[in-house]
């Protein structure tokens, strides 16, 4: 198994989500791991919807908790939930503006084959701006049953997996009523992905394209 990052430690991360809570659900454990290992790491985060609402307040508090000690720079826009394809130009401009202000070592984003149109649309925008970057597509469990066969894994120690679930429950009270938003769902998926990479828990990611430097 290839373990990405063994020879290079990331100093800058980009994390994007269509909705408040997407980043934390899909890559919260990875953010906790990275920020714990790299105090002061820069995290540029972009969320397309929820701006000016209670959801934005939830997101700001949550990502601060998921990125302890990081130089976190979060932008939350006001695109309407569920209508991202109709606001393609605004979303594209936001992604391009994000790209103009950072040169990340790693990009965390939705998967291009996610069943939710907002997730999928944002994922397909990323390669137009971040052409030479490692983009990891996180997964979000949902009714659609769109989970696939991931290509990359970040193992999570049990304490990190538990911390992720605790922070999700603590910081997103607006989502607690959803039937899939519970401890069993989050830890269950993490346990399955852990089995797939010989760990107790893990977060898994899709990788569309990456370049090797085996002789470097």
> What's the mean pLDDT in 13-20?
97
**Closest to 150 in 3D by CA, of 193, 101, 199:** 193
State the Cα–Cα distance between residues 114 and 124, nearest whole angstrom. 10
pLDDT at 83: 81
pLDDT at 216: 61
pLDDT digits (tens, 9 = 90+) for 66-116: 999 999 999 999 998 878 788 889 999 999 999 999 999 999 999 999 999
pLDDT digits (tens, 9 = 90+) for 153-178: 999 999 999 999 999 999 999 999 99
Alpha helices in 22-69 (DSSP H): 22-37, 54-66
* 212, burial (CB in 10 Å: exposed 0-12, middle 13-18, buried 19+): exposed
pLDDT at 8: 60
Task: Determine the 3-state secondary structure of 98 from DSSP.
Answer: helix
Backbone angles phi, psi at 100, to 5 degrees: -65, -20
CB atoms within 10 A of CB 187: 17
């Amino acid at each position: 198994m290839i373990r990405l990052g063994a020879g290079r430690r990331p100093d800058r991360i980009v994390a994007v989500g269509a909705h408040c809570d997407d980043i934390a659900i899909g890559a919260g454990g990875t953010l906790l791991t990275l920020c714990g290992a790299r105090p002061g790491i820069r995290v540029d985060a972009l969320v397309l919807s929820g701006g000016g609402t209670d959801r934005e307040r939830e997101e700001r508090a949550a990502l601060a908790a998921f990125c302890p000690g990081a130089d976190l720079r979060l932008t939350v826009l006001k695109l309407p939930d569920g209508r991202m394809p109709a606001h393609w130009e605004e979303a594209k401009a936001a992604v391009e503006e994000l790209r103009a202000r950072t040169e990340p070592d790693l990009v965390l984003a939705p998967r291009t084959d996610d069943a939710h149109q907002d997730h999928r649309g944002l994922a397909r925008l990323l390669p137009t701006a971040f052409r030479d970057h490692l983009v990891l597509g996180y997964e979000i469990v949902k009714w659609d049953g769109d989970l696939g066969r991931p290509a990359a894994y970040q193992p999570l120690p049990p304490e990190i997996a538990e911390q992720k679930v605790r922070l999700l429950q603590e910081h997103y009270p607006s989502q607690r009523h959803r039937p899939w938003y519970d401890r069993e769902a989050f830890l269950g998926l993490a346990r399955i992905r852990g089995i797939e990479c010989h760990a107790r828990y893990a977060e898994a990611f899709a990788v569309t394209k990456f370049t090797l430097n085996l002789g470097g």
